[in-house]
Amino acid sequence: MNMKIHCLYRDFFLFLRMISLERDVWSAFRKYYFDKHREFLKRVWFSSQKYTMKNIRERVSSIKRDDYSAIESELKIFDIEESTREVILHCKTILHDPDPCNVYLFVGFFSPDGFVIEYRGEHVICIGLERFSNFRNYDILLSHEYCHYILNKQCPRKKESLKSDIVREGICVYFSKVAFPGKKEHHYLFLNEELFSDLEKNSGTLMARLMGGKVRREDVFGSCSRDFPPRAGYYLGYRLVKDFVEKTGIDDIGFLLKEQNQILIY
């Protein structure tokens, strides 16, 4: 088997079921969830998200089972483990990566829906389930993160560069479209149609602003910028990749992964 799916979320829902039977919520949280997966959760919460144990205890103290009833119901219908397996195997056939791939399905606190971290000396894909309302575009999300996983393994960032990070996001958006074609374009960017339309109309201005001025990371990847709409960085990265493909005719995803600088300077 060239992948392993770690289903931590099962123990989180076990913890929720046990809340009413345990005297202390924090003790129950530790017993049924945190202590079982301490190494991974500490890596995500304390190293990646910069939370403290106090932050986690405060969040746990306010937990109500109803907060997670929607996602729990969805997971009874949606076979996330089988879907994860199918998506990863499909992506592997496109990118021809033979190495084992670890995917962690967990419930966190305000974590991104999908992200890649280094854990136990290798890159792993993490899916934080707490904010999911449905799994309609799970294949897009997971294939996007798989592309990040490959990029991090095969083409690690040599130095911090906002523009190259934008291109990397664009490649991942493009890859999810290659892997799962046929959906509306805004779905690959996790945008609604109205915001996508606005970005399309103003793409020239936004691209010139990106290339010509001092732009901060939070401006293009945040949600409170005066100069850029929300998720503009993902859109602009995708436009750079898409324009490169249309102008050069080079659509091989392997080439795009390895020659990111060509996209930026073309």
Does the pLDDT value for residue 39 go beyond 70? yes
C-alpha span between 53 and 72 (Å, rounded): 25
> Model confidence over 66-84: pLDDT tens digits?
999 999 999 999 999 999 9
Does the pLDDT value for residue 260 go beyond 90? no
Does the pLDDT value for residue 225 go beyond 90? no
- Name which of 139, 213, 214 is nearest 178 in CA terms: 139
Q: Which residues contact 159 (CB under 8 A, 6 or more apart)?
A: none
- Domain layout of the chain by residue ranges: 3-154, 162-265
Q: What is the mean pLDDT of residues 11-25?
A: 92
Q: What is the mean pLDDT of residues 169-175?
A: 97
Q: What is the pTM of this model?
A: 0.94
Residue 79 pLDDT: 97
Cβ atoms 150, 129 nearer than 8 A: no
Cβ atoms 232, 209 nearer than 8 A: no
Question: 167 falls in which pLDDT band (50, 70, 90)?
Answer: very high
> Model confidence over 192-209: pLDDT tens digits?
999 999 999 999 999 999
Does the pLDDT value for residue 216 go beyond 80? yes
In three-state secondary structure terms, 15 is helix
Q: What is the mean pLDDT of residues 91-104?
A: 94
Considering only residues 212 and 29, tell me which one the structure prediction assigns the higher pLDDT: 29
Q: Which residues contact 69 (CB under 8 A, 6 or more apart)?
A: none
Percentage helix, strand, coil for the chain under 3-state DSSP, each rounded to 5: 65, 10, 25
b/e string for 41-63 if b means 16 or more Cβ within 10 A?
A: bebbbeebbebeeeebeeebeeb
Token pair for residue 188? 């690959």
> What's the CA angle centered on 257, arms 254 and 258, to 5 degrees?
90
Does the pLDDT value for residue 237 go beyond 80? yes
End-to-end CA distance of the chain: 40
Does the pLDDT value for residue 130 go beyond 90? yes
Choice among 146-155, 215-224, 246-255 with the minimum mean pLDDT: 215-224
Label each residue of 48-67 as H, E or C. Answer: HCCCCHHHHHHHHHCCCHHH
Cβ atoms 57, 26 nearer than 8 A: yes
Q: What is the mean pLDDT of residues 167-176?
A: 97
Cβ atoms 175, 92 nearer than 8 A: no
Choice among 159-163, 204-208, 244-248 with the minimum mean pLDDT: 159-163
Residue 22 pLDDT: 85
